[in-house]
Chains A and B, each alone.
Chain A
């Protein structure tokens, strides 16, 4: 039997890999990929908790997280295309028009 804490450690490791990448990489699309990694780590934690507590509600939340991730990626990629049309770059440091 695999203990629950192993799944939590896996989920936390995956989340912090994604979070570090989200904050430090300069590529905008890589930021979106790291958001997906974070969503997946949350899903692992939710489904493992649901399995160990013998309750289906965690898996329901994981389902809605997946649907939200799909919706969010669609809008985010459309935003990247719209920004890329004005400023053809993927470098995060080039997007400083609103910076004071």
Chain B
């Protein structure tokens, strides 16, 4: 194994192991904190793929914003977890069969994957120009309309979240 493969093996084992740690926790605060560590490792994997911008975004948006939002909601709800109840929903075995079926479909479809022709953004070009410059040029030239739409998509849920979480005083609830 070469050195990049050893690094990748570290990230592989850590990300999958931390994901299992996240989904098996009974205490949700612990799950969120394990998830923070998992997101940091995924950010390291993005650095490994020459995508510095996404490593930064991964830390800022996921670890900084989304997980803090989860923690705030956990603090607001202040729910007492029962320690004896089962972790799984009733009839989870059938749902697990659905997961296995989808996994089979995925394996069959990924075996038929055909890699298309290489694009024009070679690794040398990205390293020469800088990743953020390449991303910015693509985003503000080719993807300006989706960029504006994503602004709207981020703006509407802000209002929706405020309206949904607002306590109504008309006596209906």
Contacts and interface: CB of A to CB of B under 8 A. Distances in A.
Please report whether the interface of chain B is mostly helix, strand, loop or mixed according to DSSP: helix
Interface string B134-166: 110011001100100010011011101110110
Contacts of B23: 17-18, 20-21, 25, 30, 33-34, 37
Interface string B51-77: 101100110011001100110011011
B34 to A, nearest CB: 10
Interface in A53-100: 53-57, 59-60, 62-64, 66-75, 77-82, 84-86, 88-93
Please report whether the interface of chain A is mostly helix, strand, loop or mixed according to DSSP: helix
Interface residues of B, number: 82
A33 B32 contact: yes
Interface in A8-27: 8, 10, 12-14, 16-21, 23-27
Interface of A: 1-2, 4, 6, 8, 10, 12-14, 16-21, 23-27, 29-30, 32-34, 36-37, 40, 43-44, 47-48, 50-57, 59-60, 62-64, 66-75, 77-82, 84-86, 88-93
What 10 A-B pairs have minimum CB-CB distances, sorted nearest first?
Answer: A55-B119, A78-B161, A78-B164, A24-B92, A23-B95, A21-B23, A71-B157, A26-B89, A78-B165, A51-B49
B79 A30 contact: no
Nearest to A37: B19
A32 B12 CA distance: 23
Contact of A40 (B31, B42, B121): B42
B86 interface: yes
A71 B28 contact: no
B46 A68 contact: no
A40 B39 contact: yes
B138 A56 contact: yes
28 contacts: A1-B4, A4-B115, A14-B16, A17-B16, A20-B99, A24-B96, A30-B23, A47-B54, A48-B49, A53-B115, A54-B118, A55-B120, A55-B121, A59-B53, A59-B54, A60-B138, A60-B139, A60-B146, A63-B139, A69-B66, A71-B153, A71-B157, A72-B157, A75-B160, A77-B70, A77-B161, A81-B73, A93-B89
